Amino acid sequence: MQPRAVLLTLLLLILVAASGFWLWGRLIEGGAPSPVATATLAPARTATVVAVGTPTPVQPPPGYRLAGVAVGEPESFAVIEAPNGVNTLYRLHDEAPGLGELIRIEAEHVVIRGAAGDFDLWLAPAPTATPAPVRTAKPRLPTRKLPRRPQSGGTTPVPRS
C-alpha cells in the first residue's frame, strides 16, 4: 500500500473511534447537557396570563339556508336559499346579497364574511309541512238490478200460452 493511503486510513479510523467514544459518553450520561452549556442558559421567563373575553360568535341572518354544496377542483359551489324561497348558486368569493362574501366552501357548511364578521351557514333540510291525509269521497259502484227470486214455500207462476 502507498504511504498516503495508509495515512488516510489511519486518520479515518481515529475519527470513527473519537466519534464512537463521544457517542458512548452521551448515551451513558443520558444526554444531560454539559456544565458549560448549563451555565450559559438564559434565566427562565414566567408567562403572564391575560384574560381575554371570548368573542360572541356571529349568527347568520334569519331565514337564509344552505341548500346544497358541491366541493370540487378547481371550483366549488354553494346553493343558498334566501328568506323569499329563491335558490341561488354561488362560487367562492361571490357576494351573496344580504349575507356577504363567500370565503370558504366545505362539505357541510360555508363561511361567509359579513358586515358583523365571519359566520358559518350549515346545510339544512328544506322545511316541509306535515302532510295531512286528503279526504276523498268513496267511489260509488254502479248498481245493477237483479231479477227477483221466487219466495220459498210458494208456487212458481206458470206462463200462459
Parent domain of 100: 65-122
Residue 113, in any domain of the structure: yes
Distance CA 156, CA 149 (A): 10
Contacts of 114 (CB under 8 A, 6+ apart): 58, 60, 61, 99, 100
Residue 23, in any domain of the structure: no
Residue 19 has pLDDT above 70, yes or no: yes
CATH label of the domain that carries residue 92 = 2.30.30.830
- Strands across the sheet containing 117-122: 95-96, 100-105, 109-114, 117-122
pLDDT digits (tens, 9 = 90+) for 78-92: 999 999 889 999 999
Residue 74, in any domain of the structure: yes
Instruction: Count up the domains in the chain and report the number.
Output: 1
Residue 154 has pLDDT above 60, yes or no: no
Residue 156, in any domain of the structure: no
Among residues 95, 90, 100, 19, the alpha carbon closest in space to that of 59 is found at 100
Residue 115, in any domain of the structure: yes
Average pLDDT over residues 95-101: 92
What is the pLDDT confidence band of residue 103, given thresholds at 50, 70 and 90?
Answer: very high
pTM over 0.85: no
Residue 151, in any domain of the structure: no
What is the pLDDT confidence band of residue 42, given thresholds at 50, 70 and 90?
Answer: low
Among residues 107, 43, 54, 55, the alpha carbon closest in space to that of 77 is found at 107
pLDDT at 132: 67
Q: Which cell is 15 given?
A: 475519527
Contacts of 120 (CB under 8 A, 6+ apart): 60, 109, 110, 111, 112
Residue 42, in any domain of the structure: no
Residue 94, in any domain of the structure: yes
